[in-house]
Structure formats: structure tokens, C-alpha cells
Structure 1
């Protein structure tokens, strides 16, 4: 059982303050790599929570590998986000207030492939064009970074 699962055993779905890293991977055409999330079915950035004793940059490298099979020569810190608008409620009810370090993967190497159970597929998207079924949290992060992101949700 992982660290977060152990915490959830104690606190249930109540809000946690969650520190984590988000990794932006751009291809040669400036498109952003996103993953279709298995928990919500929408498109989100690569990333996740820190493990005990792990640095933010180590978490970025681990999450990049776990979710895409890619490695990077280095990571460039773009920004750090926290606060009320970093709240997220997972589809199964777990609530978090994220403290998120956003990194750009420099010199990403490998062929992107779904490498764990957190993603259903990977794809590159123009970050300044409408993205169908964009995860709302990802939309907030990209908007804070100045991308002209327009989330388009599927009509029910």
C-alpha cells in the first residue's frame, strides 16, 4: 500500500494538502503531451504526488517514467502553484488541495507509451487550441501558465 493510500485509510476522502510535480513535455512542433486519465476519462498533464523523502524533481522524473516511459536530460522549474484554486475532487470522492511544482522536461527521450494503470492513452495537443475533454485541474494550470486553453467537455 502506498503512502497516499495509507493516509486515506485514516482520513477517508477529507481534503489533504498534497505536494506534487507536473511535467510538461513538448514535441518539436510545440505540442504538449497529455494522458487520458483512467480515473476520469479526460486529458491531463503528466505528474503526481511526492513519495516520502522524494524531492519535487525526483517526483517529476519518476512520474514521467511511470506514466509515459520517457526520461529527460533535465527538468526546468516553470512555476509553483498553491491555494484555493488548486483544489481537486477525484471522481471517487477523494479531495485534495495541491501544491504543484510545474516542470518542463528538457531533452525528453524515448517513445511515449502508456506505462502504468493511471493512463488510458497518450497524445500530443496544441496547448493554444481547444482541447476536447480537458481535465479541469489541467485547464487551470495551463491557463495560469498563459496558454490559451479552452476546455471542451462532452455534452451528456
Structure 2
């Protein structure tokens, strides 16, 4: 059931919704992969909302492919983030439960991300991050830095 979020939003407008968003971090040589998002224009971690009928791990793989253009080969669960509130530029309001994963291996191929999702991807040192758009991503990045 693709476009589940769009279908729900068509019915409820901008009212607050509790959503499940799945995210992942790919860290290579001490640097974290970030995407410059097409929807908000800011930088953040790859991830997105679960579609109806998907398993959490399927959402992780789909969103990582769309957002970063990379096929995940292996990963491990880290933690849940659940007190994340956000209002999108169009007025949509959400509280997001985010199961978060560490991506441990990706397929060795050129990244081919969805240009409707992502403007650019790049690796950044944790001490020299670009402006991060979502407050929740700032919290997650601070958490990830403690794991290094």
C-alpha cells in the first residue's frame, strides 16, 4: 500500500499524527553518511515513514535506498526514539516513534538516490556536521557520537 502517509493526510489534513519512522546511520572511517533532504532542504540521517503492511526492517532498507541510494547488506538495532515532535513546512504535525539502526555494510556500488527525496549525500565528521534540520536528528547524532 504505497503512499500510505499521503492517503492518510488527504483524509486528516495537518492534524497531529503518531507515525513510525525508521532510520539508520552508516558510519565509515569515523564519518557519518548524511543526506541533504529535498522536502525540507536541510541535512539529516536517511530514513522515513513506514508504509502500511511493511516490516520495520523493510522500511529501513527501502528508505535507505531511496534516501542514500545504497543497498543495505547488514545492520543492527540500536534503540528507539519516541519523543520527537515536528511540524513540516506545509503544516503537517507528527509525533514520531523511530526504531533506529546502525548500518554495518552496504553493497559496493555507486549511490543512486531518489532525487525527489534527496539533493545530495556526503560523509561528515561528527565534530564538523552541516546544519542539521531536525532536532531529533541532532539528538540521534549526539547519541551516535557516544558510541564511537
Look up the match of 1:43: 43
Return the alpha-carbon distance in structure 2 between the equivalents of residues 133 and 40 of structure 1: 12
Look up the match of 1:154: none
Return the alpha-carbon distance in structure 1 between the equivalents of residues 129 and 105 of structure 2: 25
Look up the match of 1:104: 102
Q: Which structure would you say has the larger RCO, counting Cα contacts within 8 Å and 6 or more residues apart?
A: 2
Report the TM-score, using the length of structure 1 for normalisation: 0.84
Look up the match of 1:78: 78
Contact 2:20 2:49 in 1 (8 A): yes
Contact 2:38 2:115 in 1 (8 A): no
Q: CA deviation at 1:137?
A: 2.6
Within the candidate set 87, 99, 102, 1:89 is matched to: 87
Q: Which has a greater percent of strand?
A: 2
Q: CA deviation at 1:141?
A: 2.1
Q: Deviations over 1:78-100 (max 9, x none)?
A: 111112xx001111111110000
Look up the match of 1:31: 31
Contact 2:33 2:124 in 1 (8 A): yes
Return the alpha-carbon distance in structure 1 between the equivalents of residues 75 and 45 of structure 2: 15
Contact 2:36 2:42 in 1 (8 A): yes
Q: In the comparison of the two structures, how many residue pairs are matched? A: 143
Contact 1:57 1:75 in 2 (8 A): no
> Which ranges of 4 or more aligned residues in structure 1 deviate by more than 6 Å?
none
> What is the root-mean-square deviation in Å for CA atoms of aligned residues?
1.6
Tell me, what secondary structure is at the counterpart of 2:138?
helix
